[in-house]
Chain A
Amino acid sequence: MLGVGFAGAGVCALVGLFLVQDLPEPFWLWSLFAVFFVALDYSAVEVNDRLLVSSAVMVVFAGAVVFGRESAVLAAVLMVVPSILHPQDLKRRQWALALANFGQFVVSMTLAIAVFSLFLPVGETTRGDLPLIIAGAALAAIVYDWLSFRIVAIATSVLYPEREVRPWTQLLPNHLALSVLAVLGAGLGVAYLIVGPVILPIGVFAFGVGQIAFASYAQLREAHEATIRGVVKAVEALDPYTRGHSERVAYFIDISAAELDLAPETVQRLRWAALIHGMGRVAVPPSLLHTESRLTADENARVERHMRVVEELLSDVQFLAPMVEIVTGSRTLAERPDGSLEERLFAAADRFDTLTTARSYRAAVTQAEAFDELRQHADEFGSEVVEALIGAITGRGEVYGSPDEATAAEVERLVRDRAMRA
């Protein structure tokens, strides 16, 4: 319904443009721009949640300059229309999303380029027009960004009322990137008009290499994480008691981080810490891991020594060193009151999962008992961390650990399970 409404607004804007503006001439040149736009837009990469700007914006602004004041808006908007066919949306059959995207793109682009075209010269473009055009491009980028942000915010609040939209100011890197791209596009457009088409291949090439390098960087980052995740998974699979432990700790950190309003980079770092903290177990002799009783102090020291060996190895990887620090720091929280927020959140999430899952020497405790235990150690974890974790779990209505009032049948099943594992 919302998608249809958005799409309707988009179609109205398009029809209006056809009436007001001239068609971009020559057509072959416009097609070339359209092809560039689609190619850049499809190859746009999403690197973490900080930079979501498609470099295709550059082509739109260059096109607006090249086709001139009289057809700038129409030329730009027509370029954007094919992006309704984003392969990802189509593959997932998200028609409403595709329609809403179409409307959002067309409306914000129409208004932004309309603003931009006010800065374009009436007659021939000369060198003297450059400062004004560049200022116009920067302004239009901000207009576009703000409008599409508002529209997406409205759409999100209608479609997913429970989701929070990040405030506009938090997206500052996006605005900056977008303005830079717009300015560059406008500059290349002016250069095209003054210097001639020779600027096109070199401009596209210089930018294309950057784009490819950025895409391979994003891919490699993912591969790096997948590699470590794979090894962790294999290591955890050795021990039925810890299977999925690090993934769950990462999840608990994720949901409490939302309550604590942590920066995305911090959350990322903590997720990594969660992922790698189980790897130390590899070096621990299996006889110590599978014991039926609690470990003695001496055995505990041995386990820790073995784990330290692997942690020292991991901290050789510069990138992982801060994460290893969080993990090792979280172990000594009981002895020092000045642990960082990251260490405390990690320790609390780790403790919660340990409590609510069975170990070889004891069964899992109930969720309520685990919450009590965390609250008792509030001096260690920090009460804001404990409450954030508890709030996040209860807020989602999730239950971990043993059932609160185990029925006789369940107790029997648990006992049987344990006997089988032993």
Chain B
Amino acid sequence: MTLLAGLPAAGLVAAALWGDLLAVLAVGAAFLAGHAAAMPSRVTRVQPLSSAVAVAATLTLRFSMATLACAGAIGIPAGWLFIRIRHGIRSADDLLPAQLAGLGVFIAVAGGIHEWMPHSHGAGWPHLSIVVAASVAWYLMSVFVRALLSGTHQRLTRRLVFFSGLADWPAHFVLLASGAIYGVTEPDVGWWALLLATVPYGFAHVSLRRLAATEETYRQTIRTLGRIPEAAGLTPPGHGARVADGAVAVAGELGLSRGATERIEFAAHLHDIGRVVLADPAVAGGGHTDRDVAQWSSAIIAEAPYLEPVASIVSETHRGYRRPGEVRDEDLPVAAQVVRVTAAYDLAISEGMEPVDALEVLHRGAAYDYDPVIVAALRRVLQRRGVAGT
């Protein structure tokens, strides 16, 4: 709260003392407007246009870093407050520190290089390279701060939060490019620069928004499809969602990539969908094995060409880590084992077992049925979540 009131006040006083009040207010207003027209983001839900404003201001004001700092001190907290009031979302909590840290690094890098290379006058390649470098620094810094402060670190490792934050690069670099278009053309074409910068930005904005909405829808659909066997009474209620949640955390613990983690999440939601087919009396009469469930689930998922990798994970979930007396099959995908272990754990819990006993059962099976590395990762996840007795 002190930060919120103190920063703009300090910015105003500094601007009044140094005399470039008009420019500070204009850029500050641009920061605020950049929050009002925030971009959708895959990771953080909102992505204010601050870095575009910073790049544009740096280029048009010819590297007057003090002006930028004052404007940021006024505009960014104001914009944050706006987002807070309008969207009221939790993710706004780490937004302010991330933005301020980003701007700080930006100013340090851009100002530093500019000082160090004093002969780089006139807009053009040298100035463009400086803002690109400073922008990259902003991006890495803000992702880092978010990962550091992320309230989700109880569920996921900071490392995973950091790497999934990096996936936001398209939005960030579109902002960089749009700000640069404005900054580079403004001295020569005046207000037309706004048109030149907003059109490509608008296109990217609309595309990214649609992409984010479709991704969300797709995720919802997968989650819903995963609940169908539950609705039919074939698996315990909430099984798919819990397995997916646990599997994502274990994948993070194992340091798997973002793509692999998403495939594991989808596989965890859908790994039981084949039970729907097996409930048919023609099949159910003969009884079925885990292998049947895995194969039918995989066959259903494979109907969607995009989910082919998910289907191949699911088709392996019935396979044990190692048969007694056999050497471990090196080709067995880790992803399938993650789903297998978390699903077994959740089924044990659903049957009324205590977490500590359920883990014990998995460990006992670890000699050949469950990969001990993954069981250990699951234990660490449970410990971080404070599950009793683990």
Q: A residues touching B (Cβ–Cβ < 8 Å)? A: 55, 127, 130, 180, 183-184, 187-188, 190-191, 194-196, 198-199, 202-203, 205-207, 209-214, 216-217, 219-224, 226-231, 233-235, 237-238, 279, 282-283, 286-287, 290, 309-310, 313-314, 316-320
Instruction: Note all chain B residues with C-beta closer than 8 A to A195.
Output: 123, 184-185, 188-189
Give B209 Cβ to nearest chain A Cβ, in Å: 9
* Contact yes or no, A206 B189, CB < 8 A: no
A129 CB → nearest B CB, Å? 10
Would you list 21 pairs from A and B whose C-beta atoms are within 8 A, ordered by A residue? A130-B189, A183-B195, A184-B199, A191-B189, A191-B196, A198-B125, A199-B185, A203-B181, A207-B203, A210-B207, A211-B203, A213-B208, A220-B306, A221-B214, A228-B221, A230-B300, A235-B276, A286-B279, A317-B217, A317-B224, A319-B217
| Bound CA–CA A206/B183 (angstroms) | 14
Determine the distance from Cα of A213 to Cα of B210 in the docked complex, in whole angstroms: 9
Inter-chain contact A180/B189, CB cutoff 8 Å: no
User: Could you tell me if B184 and A210 are in contact, using CB atoms closer than 8 angstroms?
Assistant: no
Q: Are B204 and A209 in contact (CB under 8 A)?
A: yes
What CA separation (Å) do A95 and B228 show in the bound complex? 48
Report the minimum CB–CB distance from A321 to chain B (whole Å). Answer: 10
Among residues of B, the one whose C-beta sits closest to the C-beta of A205 is: B177
Within 8 A of A (CB), among B201-233: 201, 203-208, 210-211, 214-215, 217-218, 220-222, 224-225, 227-228, 231-233
CA distance A210 to B178 in the complex (A): 12
Q: How far is the CA of A212 from the CA of B177 in the complex (A)?
A: 15
Complex Cα–Cα for A282 and B274 (A): 11
- Given contacts A183-B199, A209-B170, A286-B280, whether A194 and B231 have CB atoms under 8 Å apart is no
Contact of B299 (CB < 8 Å), options: A191, A198, A234: A234
- Contacting residue for A217 out of B124, B128, B210, CB 8 A: B210
At the interface, yes or no: B277 with Cβ under 8 Å from chain A?
A: yes
Binary contact readout B259-292 vs A (1 if CB under 8 angstroms, 0 otherwise): 0000000000000010011011100100000000
Q: B208 — which chain A residues lie within 8 A by C-beta?
A: 210, 213
Hey, what's the 0/1 contact readout for B178-196 against A, CB within 8 Å counting as 1?
A: 1011001100111010011
Partner pick for B218 among A223, A238, A309, A316, CB 8 A cutoff: A223
Closest 5 CB pairs of A and B: A230-B303, A223-B306, A210-B204, A206-B177, A213-B207
User: B112 contacts the other chain (Cβ, under 8 Å)?
Assistant: no
CB distance from A309 to the nearest CB of B (A): 5
How far apart are the CA atoms of A317 and B185 in the complex, in Å? 45
In angstroms, Cα B232 to Cα A286, docked, is 11
For residue B86, give the distance in angstroms from its CB to the closest CB of chain A.
20
Which B residue's beta carbon lies closest to that of A234?
A: B300
- Give a binary string over B299-320; 1 marks a CB under 8 Å from any A CB, 0 the rest: 1111111110000000000000
Question: B210 contacts A316, CB within 8 Å?
Answer: no
User: Nearest chain-B residue to A220 (Cβ)?
Assistant: B214
Residues in B with CB closer than 8 Å to A237 are 277
Chain B nearest CB from A112 CB (Å) reads 20
How close is A223's CB to chain B, nearest CB, in angstroms? 3
CB-CB nearest in chain A for B187: A195
Cα–Cα distance between A304 and B86 once the two chains are bound (Å): 42
B221 touches A206 (CB 8 A): no
Are B221 and A287 touching (Cβ within 8 A)?
no
Number of interface residues of B (CB under 8 A): 60
Chain B residues with Cβ below 8 Å from A310 are 228, 231
Establish whether residues B188 and A220, one from each chain, have CB atoms under 8 Å apart when the complex forms.
no
B123 lies within 8 A of A207 (CB) = no
B174 at the interface (CB under 8 A from A): yes
Whether the pair B220, A213 counts as a contact (CB closer than 8 A) is no
Inter-chain contacts of B306 with A (CB < 8 A): 219-220, 222-223, 226-227
Given A216-B211, A229-B303: A184 in contact with B200 (beta carbons within 8 A): yes
Which residue in B184, B192, B301 is a CB contact (below 8 Å) of A199? B184
| Shortest distance from the beta carbon of B298 to any chain A beta carbon, whole Å | 11
In contact, A187 and B196 (Cβ under 8 angstroms): yes
Determine whether the beta carbon of A220 is less than 8 Å from that of B228.
no
- A252–B377 Cα distance when bound, in Å, is 53
The chain B residue with its CB closest to the CB of A180 is B199
Interfacial chain A residues near B189, Cβ < 8 Å: 127, 130, 190-191, 194-195
B173 proximal to A (CB < 8 A): yes
Flag if B170 contacts A187 (CB, 8 Å): no
Q: How far is the CA of A310 from the CA of B273 in the complex (A)?
A: 14
B228 near A282 with CB under 8 A, answer: yes
CB contacts (< 8 Å) of B184 on chain A: these are 191, 195, 198-199, 202
Contact in complex: A209, B173 (CB < 8 Å): yes
Contact at A214–B228, with CB atoms within 8 Å? Answer: no
Q: Is the CB of B281 within 8 A of A214?
A: no
Instruction: Identify which of B204, B280, B307 gathers the most chain A CB atoms within 10 Å of its CB.
Output: B204
B303 touches A213 (CB 8 A): no
Instruction: Kindly state the separation between the CA atoms of A216 and B167 in the bound complex, as whole angstroms.
Output: 14
Give the chain B neighbours of A231 by CB distance below 8 A. Answer: 225, 228, 273, 300, 303
Bound CA span A211–B181, Å: 17
B214 contacts across to A, CB distance below 8 A: 217, 220-221, 224
CB distance from A224 to the nearest CB of B (A): 5
Contact between chains at B128 and A319 (CB < 8 Å): no
A127 contact from B181, B190, B301, Cβ within 8 A:
B190
Question: Shortest CB–CB separation between residue A34 and chain B, in angstroms?
Answer: 21
A contact residues around B205 at 8 Å (CB): 210
Q: What residues on A are CB-neighbors of B178 within 8 Å?
A: 206
Q: Tell whether, in the assembled complex, residue B200 and residue A279 are in contact, meaning their CB atoms are under 8 Å apart.
A: no
A317 to B226, CA, bound (A): 12
